[in-house]
Amino acid sequence: MSLLSALITVSGLMLHLCFCVLSSQYCVPRKTVPYASDLKLFKEDGIFNYSTMLIRDDVGVVLLGAREAIYALDISNISDKKSAVYWPVTEEKQRECANKGKDPEVECRNYIRTLHSVNDTTIYVCGTYAFSPICDYMMLVNGQLTLKGRQGEGKGKCPFDPFQRYSSLMVGNDLYAATSINFLGSEPVILRSSNLALRTEFKRSWLSEPNFVYMDFVGESFESPDGDDDKIYLFFSENAIEYDFYSKVVVSRVARVCKGDMGGQRTLQKKWTSFLKAHLDCPFPKPSLPPVVQDVFLLKHKDWRKSVFYAVFTPQSSLSQISAVCAFSVSAIRDNFNQGKFKTPVAVETSHVKWMMYTGEVPVPRPGACINNAARNLGMNRSLDLPDKTLQFIRDRPLMDEAVSPETGVPLLLKKGALLTRIVVDSVLALNGERYNVMFIGTEDGFIQKAVNFDGEMFIIEEIQVYENPEAISILRLSSSKGQLFAGSEFGAVQMPVSNCSRYGSCVDCILSRDPYCAWDMSSAQCAPVYSLSSNTALQSLKDGNVSQCPASDPVAVVDLNLVPGNNIQLPCQLHSNLAHVHWRFSDQPLPSTDKYYIYSGGLLILNACESDIGLYACDSLEQINGRTFNRTMAAYHLQLFSDPEEVVSTTPGTTTVPKTLFLTVSTTRDPGWDGKEPPLPETQNDMSRVSLLEVAVGLLSLLCLSLLGIIFWIWSQEHCKCFKFTKRPRDVEKRKQSGDYFQSRTSEIKLPGPESGRLCSTNDYHTAVDFKGNGNHFSPMANLSSLDGLGYIHDESEI
C-alpha cells in the first residue's frame, strides 16, 4: 500500500510539474448528467461511422448515413428503423483500391458523406466508394428508402478519402461542394456542379491544404436595396500565406461566393469571380497560435442581417486543451468583404513573398463583388461582363486584409478539458418573451455541453453524457420544432431532448438551473417546459437566478447518528451543482477542513471521533450566481454518544464507518479562493507508529521513486509535456464504480470553501480520485493533475 501510494504521489507530483497554467476564465458545467441507458440509440451490428445526417421534420424521418448503409429512422425515436439501404463496394473496386495502397477494410469502403433533399421524395446521396466517389438518387416514400441505381460521377461532389473533412450544400438544383478532386487529396476545390459548373483556381493563394468544415446559404438578395445577390459562405482552415513563420501555421477562414456567379469571359473562365476569403479570428486567452475552426452553425434569423454563425475553435497545438465558441454576424463578415481592404503579395528579397495590405487603386466594379445595381448601371449584368482588370485583381488577391472578429470581441464560451467538436444552436423563447441562444456542443469524449451566454457571462447549464464510452461526436443536428438533438459517432447515433425539466425537482433547483427551456410551474409545483406555461403562474429568472419568489421549502430533517469514540464517521452531503462549494457548520460555528475534519465533496469525515464531537452538524451549499451567493442547507446531522461499539457498524443507517482501507484522494485543481493551507493528512495526528511505518516505507522506496522520476522525465522530455494525454476526465460514473460504496457520492471531489470559489466561470474543478484497495488495481491514470490539493489517508486497521 505504502509503495503504491508513494508511487502515486510521486507520479502525481510529476504530472503536476508539467501541467500548464490554469486560469479562472474557463467554464465548468453546473450539472453533470451521467449516461442514462434509456437514451434512444441507433446502431447496427457491423456498421460503423454514423456521421452523415439529414433531418426531415416534414416527413418525421432522420436520414442517417454510415459506412455502406443509409437508414430512415423515426424522428421521435431513432431506435425505430423504418427502412435501410445497403450500398457496399464491389469486390473488384475494393481490390483496385487496395492495389493503390489503401487499407481494404477501412479506406476501401463506401462511406456515405452526402445526403441532400432534392425535392419531397428524392434525396441526393454520395459515397466515397473505395476512393472512387459516386453519387445516386434515392427515393423516400412513406419512410421507405430505395436507391435509384442511377450512379453518377462523385468526383468534385464527395471526397475520395473518408477521413478528409468536407462540406457540401444543395441550393436549388446546384450542388456546392468543398472537397478534393483527386485520389491523392492534393487538389482542393470549391465547386458548383450545375449547368454552369464553376470552381476555384488551383493557386496556393486561393486554397492551401484546406480542411473544409461548413457551408451555408444566406439569401442576401432578399429586399436588397443595392440589388445584391445571394451568397454561399464557407468555413475552413488552411495553411497561412500571410504569416512569416519558419513552420506551417494554420489559420481559420471564412470565404464566400455569389450564387449568380457565372465565371469570367477570358480571365477566370469557369472559375469563381466572387471568391473572397478572410481570416476568422477567435481570440484565445493566452497568446497562442491562431485557433482552428472545427464546426460552424448558422443561426438563421428572418432578417438575414441578424443571422449569426456560431463556430467552435480548438487550439493548433495538441498540448493545449482549451476550446472556444465564437459568434460572427453575417453583417460583419459581409462588411469585411464588401468594404475591407485587400492583401497583396509583395516580393521581398529574391524568392520570398510577404502578404501586406494593398494600398493602390482598386478597380471598378469592385473585385469579388457580386453583380449588383452598381455593376448593372455600368452595363454589366453577368460576371461574364466584368472587365479583365477587376478579374485579374481578384485572381491574384482573394484574401482580405483584416480578420473577421467575433460579435462580442471575445469568445462566448471558453472551456478546458475534452475538446469541443460540433455545435448547433437553438433560439429559445423565455418566459419573459426574450430570446436566448442555447448552444449544444459535442465533445471528443461523448458529452454534449448545453451552454448560454447571459450578456457576457458564460454559463454551461449542464453537460450530458450521450455515449457510454468516450467517443468523439462527429455530427450534431437539431430539430428545433421537435425539440430533439441527434448526435452521431463511429459507433452509433443517439437522440436526446433539448431539455428535461423534470430533472429539477424543486423550485430552487429549477430556477438555479437557469435553463431557458424550463420554468417552475407554481400550480403543479414542478419544473416544466416554458412553452407550456404562462408568466402569471410560472417562475423563471435566467440572468439573476433569483429564487426569492420560490415557495419556502421545508427545512432539512436532522438525522440522528451515533458516535463511537475512536471511530471515523462520515456525514454525507450531496451538492446539486458543480459550481457550489460546501461549507460545514458544527454547533453553528464554521468547521474548517483540518486534519481532524476532512471535508470532501461527498461530505465530511470526522477522524478518530471523540466525545467533544457530539453536537449538531450542518452542510451548506454556497453557489455564486451572477455575483451573489446563494446559501442553502443540504444536510444536517445530530451526533450523540453511543457506548456499545459492537453494534455500531450494523445498526447505524446513514453513517458509514470507514473500513480497513487506505484512501488517497487527489484533487486536481487548486481552488481559486483557497487559502493555501495544505489539506489534511489525518492519520499523522493520531497514530505516530503508522506514520513512521509509512515514512520508512517511503524511504525504502525512494530509489524506486527516483527511477520512476527518471522514466517520467524521460517520457516528458520525449513528448513535450504530453500530460494532456491523460486528460480524459474520469467521469463520475466511472469514479463511482471505482470507489466502492464507502462514500455515497462524488468521493473524488474535494472542494474547499473560499471567497472566490463558486464563481460561475471559474477554474475547471476537475478532480479525480485514486482509490485503491491494497492491491492497487483501481489505480487509473490521473486526469488533469495540476496539484495535489487533497491528499488524505485513512488507515484504521486497529480502530475497530
Ligand X SMILES: *[C@@H]1O[C@H](CO)[C@@H](O)[C@H](O)[C@H]1NC(C)=O
Give the binding site for ligand X (CB under 6 A): 38, 48-49, 77, 79-80, 106, 111, 118-122, 137, 162-163, 379, 381, 385, 490, 497, 500, 502-503, 544, 546, 548-549, 583, 585, 588, 620, 622, 628, 631, 633
* Cα dihedral 255, 283, 543, 452 sign: positive
CA nearest to 525, candidates 513, 508, 512, 542: 508
**Which H or E run contains 732?**
helix 732-739
CA separation for the pair 475, 114 (Å, rounded): 13
- Minimal distance in Å, beta carbon 560 to ligand X? 20
CA nearest to 421, candidates 485, 497, 489, 467: 489
* Residue nearer to ligand X on the CB measure, 480 or 500: 500
The answer to whether the peptide bond before residue 365 is cis (omega within 30 degrees of 0) is yes
CA separation for the pair 287, 763 (Å, rounded): 19
CA separation for the pair 6, 793 (Å, rounded): 12
**Is 573 exposed, middle or buried, given 0-12, 13-18 or 19+ CB atoms closer than 10 A?**
buried
* Residue nearer to ligand X on the CB measure, 127 or 367: 127
* Residue nearer to ligand X on the CB measure, 71 or 275: 71
- Minimal distance in Å, beta carbon 194 to ligand X? 13
* Residue nearer to ligand X on the CB measure, 751 or 795: 751
- Minimal distance in Å, beta carbon 514 to ligand X? 13
* Residue nearer to ligand X on the CB measure, 41 or 241: 41
- Minimal distance in Å, beta carbon 119 to ligand X? 4
Q: Give the residues across from 584 on adjacent strands.
A: 591, 619
- Minimal distance in Å, beta carbon 594 to ligand X? 18
Phi and psi, residue 713, nearest 5°: -65, -35
Q: In this structure, are residues 793 and 738 in contact, taking their beta carbons and an 8 Å threshold? A: no
Per the listing, cell 464491389 goes with 90
- Minimal distance in Å, beta carbon 761 to ligand X? 19
* Residue nearer to ligand X on the CB measure, 137 or 779: 137
Helix (H, G, I), strand (E, B) or coil at 199: strand
- Minimal distance in Å, beta carbon 546 to ligand X? 4
Which amino acid, one-letter code, is at 57?
D
Query: 150: how many CB neighbours lie within 10 A of its CB?
Result: 8
* Residue nearer to ligand X on the CB measure, 106 or 641: 106
Residues 322-333 as b/e (b if ≥16 CB within 10 A, e otherwise) read: bbbbbbbbbebb
CA separation for the pair 533, 490 (Å, rounded): 39
- Minimal distance in Å, beta carbon 503 to ligand X? 5
- Minimal distance in Å, beta carbon 753 to ligand X? 7
- Minimal distance in Å, beta carbon 33 to ligand X? 8
User: Please, where are the H alpha helices in 26-155?
Assistant: 91-99
- Minimal distance in Å, beta carbon 109 to ligand X? 8
As a residue count, the chain comes to 800
Residues 6+ apart with CB under 8 A from 298: 216, 218, 233, 307, 308, 309, 310
User: ∠ CA(406), CA(408), CA(414), 5° rounding?
Assistant: 80
* Residue nearer to ligand X on the CB measure, 331 or 633: 633
* Residue nearer to ligand X on the CB measure, 162 or 792: 162
* Residue nearer to ligand X on the CB measure, 216 or 620: 620
CA separation for the pair 346, 352 (Å, rounded): 9
Pairing of strands 31-33, 457-465: parallel
- Minimal distance in Å, beta carbon 496 to ligand X? 7
* Residue nearer to ligand X on the CB measure, 135 or 403: 135
* Residue nearer to ligand X on the CB measure, 49 or 567: 49
- Minimal distance in Å, beta carbon 300 to ligand X? 25
Q: In this structure, are residues 70 and 125 in contact, taking their beta carbons and an 8 Å threshold? A: yes
CA separation for the pair 227, 557 (Å, rounded): 70
* Residue nearer to ligand X on the CB measure, 309 or 617: 617
